[in-house]
């Protein structure tokens, strides 16, 4: 096993931990501002360093870069093995981009007036950032699993301590559901590691591709399929893919705003990332065989999520269900198993992180002012907060997939890939495209209910003007919305070779398998 020196990636990964350590020695009462700015400073520093990663990243190379590998438990073939390709990079960037926004937004939040423990809150934020970056850079199944589980802990406490009225219920539900899936993944991880003699993903994938490592496959229910499903179910709960979504509204509705933003912005992506990184290249045949099934669930998720979203009276719940719909697009994009679908799916992850994260920020700002999430309590807000209304409109339109804004680019490429897919095809595309209509229906419904109409409710007439962190955060989001919408080519280039390698690793099994299954 090769040993490597300190990589920039490790620095990026552990920078939040450094900040966390410093925070621990600060006094909550006397250094309130210092705590905030330290947290924000470290998240920004992490972001800047990840930009450096981007600058140094070679997009033409599909393999791992910034690799660092050190023995950890050599007896079991476990090592500290980190590295990123274009796919990992784009998600690390998303994480380090979303975190400062979430932290900055928390500066003016009222949650600490009720619940206190501000220092602990920021400690959990940095812990969460560390774990999330870890998930996206880990190249060893065991390390990955550890990071995966560690993300649960800070999130559990963020929801459980600073959440809404039913925070404990939501936190426990979130924890248990994810945990339940993780158990299956753990079993699959152990089996795979045992068979391969190593937990290093690149080596396992190389073995599978070369045919030296075989997970027997002869249909929808065989060894490989069960391993695939073990991973998939863990990821599907996280995404969440259609029938596994019932934890999501609770977690989103109860979480504090920053928690919702991170949950929608990054945590959900861990699921889809996992599918791309682990399920597809390690179990290619099973992926092809199960693609139509997962595709159907994705399409159901798109339509169902949108439809249910329309009937919600709680804004946060509405946005939460819209996540189910949007992530359905990502899922079918992945299982289209072609370059368009896959890259669209990855970009859509970023887009969803930005747009839905933005929507949660909007809802959070409204909640800070009115302390209600009931959609009927609003109306005419555009008049009370004109600038806020305009930014909200842009984010809403982006979430609806308006061409020229970011949401469209992802959706379009995904649907394009779906229609031309060898495994999905035109029927899937037809139904999935209906989601575009439905998105307009529920998004405009929300926008109208909240922002349009007469400003007739007295408590809405004197809302606190936007604070500078709020303005900053929203403007940054809107700038990203336009940038990705108009110039998405940069992002596609970043991941093109990496995702293509993954697609190819599956595609080579497609023809004979589709023939076999038909």
- Binding region for another protein (CB under 8 A): 173, 243, 246, 249-250, 304, 307-308, 310-312, 338-340, 343, 380, 382-383, 390, 397, 402-404, 408-409, 412-413, 415-417, 419-426, 429-430, 433-434, 436-437, 440-441, 444-445, 448, 452-456, 486-490, 492-493, 496-497, 499-500, 503, 514
Which CB atom, from 43 or from 498, has the smaller least distance to another protein?
A: 498
**Under 8 Å between Cβ of 320 and 331:** no
Q: Which of 496, 485, 510, 513 is nearest to 62 (CA)?
A: 496
Which CB atom, from 28 or from 314, has the smaller least distance to another protein?
A: 314
**Under 8 Å between Cβ of 470 and 110:** no
Q: CB of residue 177 vs another protein: minimum separation in angstroms?
A: 9
Q: What secondary structure, in 3-state letters, does 327-345 show? A: HHHHHHHHHCCCHHHHHHH
Which CB atom, from 164 or from 453, has the smaller least distance to another protein?
A: 453
Q: CB of residue 14 vs another protein: minimum separation in angstroms?
A: 34
**Under 8 Å between Cβ of 200 and 79:** yes
Which CB atom, from 222 or from 433, has the smaller least distance to another protein?
A: 433
Q: CB of residue 418 vs another protein: minimum separation in angstroms?
A: 8
Q: CB of residue 437 vs another protein: minimum separation in angstroms?
A: 5
Q: Which of 138, 132, 175, 369 is nearest to 257 (CA)?
A: 369
Helices 167-196, 141-162: axis angle to 10 degrees equals: 180
Q: What is the DSSP string of 398-439?
A: HHHT-BTBHHHHHHHHHHHHHHT-SSS-HHHHHHHHHHHHHH
Which CB atom, from 189 or from 337, has the smaller least distance to another protein?
A: 337
Which CB atom, from 52 or from 390, has the smaller least distance to another protein?
A: 390
* H or E, element range at 83: strand 78-84
Q: CB of residue 118 vs another protein: minimum separation in angstroms?
A: 32
Q: CB of residue 420 vs another protein: minimum separation in angstroms?
A: 4
* Region at 11 (left for phi over 0; alpha for psi -120 to 50; beta for the rest): alpha
Instruction: Identify the residue whose tokens are 């439905």.
Output: 438
Q: CB of residue 504 vs another protein: minimum separation in angstroms?
A: 9
Beta strand spans in 449-494 (E): none
Which CB atom, from 29 or from 456, has the smaller least distance to another protein?
A: 456
């Amino acid at each position: 096993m090769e040993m490597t020196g300190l990589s920039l990636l490790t620095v990026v990964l552990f920078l939040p931990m450094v900040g966390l350590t410093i925070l621990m020695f600060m006094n909550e009462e006397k250094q309130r501002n210092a705590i905030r700015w330290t947290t924000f400073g470290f998240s920004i520093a992490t972001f800047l360093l990840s930009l450096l990663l981007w600058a140094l990243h070679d997009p033409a190379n599909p393999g791992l870069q910034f690799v660092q590998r050190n023995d950890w438990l050599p007896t079991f073939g476990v090592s500290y093995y980190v590295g990123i390709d274009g796919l990992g990079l784009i998600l690390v960037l998303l994480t380090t981009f979303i975190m400062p926004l979430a932290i900055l937004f928390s500066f003016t939040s009222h949650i600490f007036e009720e619940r206190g423990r501000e220092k602990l809150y920021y400690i959990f934020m940095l812990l969460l950032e560390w774990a999330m970056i870890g998930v996206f850079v880990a190249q060893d199944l065991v390390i990955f699993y550890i990071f995966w589980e560690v993300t649960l802990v800070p999130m559990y406490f963020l929801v459980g301590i600073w959440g809404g009225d039913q925070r404990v219920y939501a936190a426990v539900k979130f924890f248990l559901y994810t945990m339940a899936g993780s158990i299956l993944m753990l079993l699959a991880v152990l089996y795979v590691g045992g068979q391969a003699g190593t937990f290093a993903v690149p080596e396992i994938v190389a073995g599978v591709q070369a045919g030296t490592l075989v997970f027997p496959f002869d249909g929808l229910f065989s060894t490989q399929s069960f391993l695939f499903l073990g991973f998939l179910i863990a990821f599907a709960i996280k995404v969440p893919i259609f029938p596994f979504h019932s934890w999501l509204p609770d977690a989103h509705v109860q979480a504090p705003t920053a928690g919702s933003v991170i949950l929608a912005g990054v945590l959900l992506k861990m699921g889809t990332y996992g599918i791309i990184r682990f399920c597809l290249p390690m179990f290619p045949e099973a992926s092809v065989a199960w693609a139509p099934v997962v595709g159907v669930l994705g399409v159901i998720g798109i339509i169902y999520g949108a439809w249910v979203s329309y009937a919600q009276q709680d804004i946060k719940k509405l946005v939460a269900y819209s996540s189910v719909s949007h992530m359905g697009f990502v899922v079918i994009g992945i299982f289209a198993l072609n370059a368009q679908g896959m890259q669209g799916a990855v970009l859509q992850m970023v887009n969803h992180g930005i747009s839905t994260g933005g929507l949660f920020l909007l809802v959070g700002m409204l909640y800070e002012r009115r302390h209600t999430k009931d959609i009927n309590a609003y109306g005419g807000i555009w008049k009370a907060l004109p600038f806020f209304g305009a930014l909200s409109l842009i984010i809403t339109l982006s979430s609806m997939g308006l061409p020229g804004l970011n949401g469209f680019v992802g959706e379009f490429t995904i649907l394009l890939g779906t229609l031309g897919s060898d495994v999905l095809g035109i029927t899937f595309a037809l139904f999935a495209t209906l989601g575009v209509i439905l998105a307009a229906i529920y998004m405009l419904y929300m926008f109208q209910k909240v922002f349009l109409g007469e400003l007739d409710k007295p408590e809405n007439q004197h809302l606190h003007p936007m604070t500078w962190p709020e303005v900053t955060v929203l403007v940054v989001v809107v700038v990203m919305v336009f940038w990705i919408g108009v110039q998405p080519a940069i992002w596609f280039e970043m991941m093109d070779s990496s995702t293509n390698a993954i697609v190819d690793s599956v595609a080579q099994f497609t023809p004979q398998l589709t023939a076999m299954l038909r």
